[in-house]
């Protein structure tokens, strides 16, 4: 079975074509600058990478170009579009109703359209991407996989905020959680490695956006992101959790509008805001190594917050069997892993410094110190494969 996975952003459309018999990625790529001009990068194992400018007035033009490439005599990997048996679409938000991956029909799309206010950045382009794909491939099933659905079963006391309850009823202000597809994938792998589907696992997805999730029995019980992906640990440009009165204080002090304040906390804060240098962890590390004090401080704030959340989830779950690091920073920054796990031996978390420092990039690694009670793993995430699997399971 061949499944196309699509992740549509406001000006981009990423895709991967999977052969589900082998789990192999046959081709993948990214259409960028949709609505501006158009640029596509297309990669197939064993063939030279292909990159060209194109005319992408909208998502439909982009997906049509992708299908042309996938079926191209020299660059392609399938004979005809009919070889694609289903399409999986990534959605950041499924609201309260889309609690699991679902085949997308009129009802589901109407619901997703009704909740774009909860998800103004990712919702509209994901819906446009889906509509474009459905028009071009009308006869196959299209499945929506929602980042929020991994948190569908967290308990009320973990998702209701201590603000007037009517605001939840009126506006659905509650914790939703994000990055669920990634956390579900790496927590599943960790449970497999432990040989225990009931394990207590803390997964740290640390990339440009970062979140930490606690999983028990294969189900999320808590997560650091909340009503929006702005909550939790500091990120590249997002503040993460801060004292809730800071936004209104800044608005008054700097005479900013609500939108300007949101932009400041979303786009100018986090690692970038503290360091004043970059949102990219590698740049911050370089700057810190060159003695830049605020770059050092930015990393210290990050590790301090990760540690606090990991500790709180150990308390919440009454223990932990494994801690997992994933995504750009989690998979690659060995110093961060060492700093987070330092002085945690009292709760059984201790890593082998040597193994941590030398584990190969892009591969699963067990970095646990000999004799430590809690396992620590590095597990590269694979959200696209998870989307393809859900799509296969729902359409087979
Ligand atoms: P996104 O959330 O956009 O998917 P990624 O998961 O790709 O992001 O993570 C991007 C982050 O990973 C950036 O901060 C980048 O600096 C960091 N990163 C990538 N490689 C390394 C590395 N070798 N060392 C430290 N950080 C890294």
Nearest to 27 by CA among 386, 384, 391: 384
Integer Cα distance of 186 and 203 in angstroms = 7
Q: For residue range 143-158, list pLDDT tens digits in order.
A: 999 999 999 999 999 9
Integer Cα distance of 18 and 40 in angstroms = 19
Structure-block tokens of residue 261 = 């304040």
Query: Considering the domain boundaries, does residue 187 fall inside one?
Result: no
32 lines ligand 1 (CB under 6 A): no
Find the distance separating the first CA and the last CA of the chain, reported in whole Å: 9
Integer Cα distance of 40 and 60 in angstroms = 14
- Residue 372 in this model has a pLDDT that exceeds 90: yes
Query: Per-residue confidence at 292, pLDDT binned at 50, 70, 90?
Result: very high
In Å, how far from its chain's centre is CA 117?
20
147 in the same domain as 203 = no
Query: Considering the domain boundaries, does residue 395 fall inside one?
Result: no
φ, ψ dihedrals at 58, nearest 5°: -155, 180
Predicted local confidence at residue 190, as pLDDT:
98
Active-site residue identified among 147, 222, 231, 390: 147
360 in the same domain as 302 = yes
264 in the same domain as 116 = no
20 in the same domain as 146 = yes
Compute, in angstroms, the gap from residue 42 CA to the centroid of ligand 1. Answer: 21
Please state the atom number of ligand 1 nearest to the C-alpha of residue 361. 23
Query: Considering the domain boundaries, does residue 387 fall inside one?
Result: no
Neighbours of 97 (CB within 10 A): 13
Instruction: Give all strands (DSSP E) within the chain, no chain letters.
Output: 2-8, 13-19, 24-32, 39-43, 50-53, 84-91, 102-103, 141-146, 200-206, 210-216, 219-223, 322-326, 365-366, 375-378
Which residues have CB under 8 Å from 176's CB, separation 6+?
93, 95, 118, 148, 151, 159, 225, 226, 227
Predicted local confidence at residue 3, as pLDDT:
98
Question: Which of 96, 124, 151 is the last residue in one of the domains?
Answer: 151
Supply the residue whose CA is at minimum distance from atom 24 of ligand 1. 333
CATH of the domain at 346: 3.30.420.40
Work out the average pLDDT over 295-309. 98
Q: For residue range 45-55, list pLDDT tens digits in order.
A: 988 899 999 99
| Residues facing 347 on adjacent strands | none
Integer Cα distance of 128 and 10 in angstroms = 9
Dihedral, CA of residue 79, residue 80, residue 81 and residue 87, to nearest 10: -40
Among 32, 275, 328, the mutation site with the greatest number of ligand 1 atoms within 8 A of its Cβ is 328
The count of domains in the chain is 2
Dihedral, CA of residue 142, residue 147, residue 153 and residue 157, to nearest 10: -150
Predicted local confidence at residue 124, as pLDDT:
94
Strand-strand pairing, 141-146 and 84-91: parallel
Query: Considering the domain boundaries, does residue 146 fall inside one?
Result: yes
Instruction: Count each helix (H run) and each strand (E run) in the chain, helices first.
Output: 15, 14
Please state the atom number of ligand 1 nearest to the C-alpha of residue 236. 14
What's the whole-model pTM score?
Answer: 0.95
Query: Considering the domain boundaries, does residue 53 fall inside one?
Result: yes
147 is catalytic: yes
Angle, CA 16 vertex, CA 10 and CA 18 arms, to 5°: 150
Among 9, 208, 361, 380, the mutation site with the greatest number of ligand 1 atoms within 8 A of its Cβ is 208
304 in the same domain as 205 = yes
- Would you call 52 helix, strand, or coil by DSSP? strand
Predicted local confidence at residue 121, as pLDDT:
87
Compute, in angstroms, the gap from residue 395 CA to the centroid of ligand 1. Answer: 34
Element (H, E) at 390: helix 383-395
Work out the average pLDDT over 123-127. 95
Domain of residue 261, residue span: 196-378
Work out the average pLDDT over 77-81. 96
217 in the same domain as 320 = yes
Query: Considering the domain boundaries, does residue 162 fall inside one?
Result: no
203 in the same domain as 120 = no
203 in the same domain as 146 = no
φ, ψ dihedrals at 388, nearest 5°: -65, -40
Query: Per-residue confidence at 396, pLDDT binned at 50, 70, 90?
Result: confident
Predicted local confidence at residue 308, as pLDDT:
98
- Residue 172 in this model has a pLDDT that exceeds 90: yes
Query: Per-residue confidence at 10, pLDDT binned at 50, 70, 90?
Result: confident
Question: Mean pLDDT for the chain?
Answer: 97
Compute, in angstroms, the gap from residue 381 CA to the centroid of ligand 1. Answer: 12
φ, ψ dihedrals at 28, nearest 5°: -150, 160
207 in the same domain as 126 = no
Predicted local confidence at residue 109, as pLDDT:
97
69 in the same domain as 16 = yes
């Amino acid at each position: 079975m061949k499944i196309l996975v699509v992740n549509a952003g406001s000006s981009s459309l990423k895709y991967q074509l999977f052969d589900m018999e082998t789990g192999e990625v046959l081709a993948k790529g990214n259409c960028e600058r949709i609505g501006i001009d158009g640029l596509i990068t297309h990669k197939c194992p064993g063939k030279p990478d292909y990159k060209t400018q194109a005319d992408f007035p909208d998502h439909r033009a982009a997906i049509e170009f992708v299908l042309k490439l996938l079926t191209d005599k020299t660059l392609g990997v399938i004979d005809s579009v009919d070889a694609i048996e289903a399409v999986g679409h990534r959605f950041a938000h499924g609201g309260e109703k889309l609690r699991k991956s679902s085949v997308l029909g009129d009802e589901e799309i109407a619901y997703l359209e009704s909740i774009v206010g909860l998800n103004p950045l990712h919702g509209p382009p994901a819906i446009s991407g889906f509509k474009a794909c459905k028009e071009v491939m009308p006869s196959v099933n299209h499945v929506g996989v929602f980042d929020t659905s991994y948190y569908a079963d967290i308990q009320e006391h973990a998702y209701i905020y201590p603000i007037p309850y009517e605001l939840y009823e009126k506006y659905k202000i509650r914790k939703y959680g994000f990055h669920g597809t990634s956390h579900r994938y790496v927590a599943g792998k960790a449970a497999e490695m432990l040989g225990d589907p009931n394990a207590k696992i803390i997964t740290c997805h640390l990339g440009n956006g970062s979140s930490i999730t606690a999983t028990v029995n294969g189900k999320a019980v808590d997560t650091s992101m909340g009503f929006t992906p702005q909550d939790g640990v500091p990120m590249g440009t997002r503040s993460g959790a801060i004292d809730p009165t800071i936004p209104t204080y800044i608005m008054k002090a700097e005479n900013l509008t609500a939108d300007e304040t949101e932009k400041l906390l979303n786009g100018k804060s986090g690692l970038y805001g503290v360091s004043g240098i970059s949102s990219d962890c590698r740049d911050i590390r370089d700057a810190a190594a060159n003695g830049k004090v605020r770059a050092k401080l930015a990393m210290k704030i990050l590790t301090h917050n990760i540690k606090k959340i990991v500790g709180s989830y150990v308390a919440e779950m009454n223990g932990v069997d494994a801690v997992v690091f994933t995504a750009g920073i989690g998979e690659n920054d060995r110093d961060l892993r060492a700093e987070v796990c330092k002085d945690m031996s009292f709760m059984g978390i201790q890593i082998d410094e040597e193994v941590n420092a030398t584990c190969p990039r892009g591969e699963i690694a067990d970095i646990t110190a000999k004799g430590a009670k809690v396992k620590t793993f590095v597990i590269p995430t694979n959200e696209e494969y998870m989307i393809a699997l859900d799509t296969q399971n729902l359409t087979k």
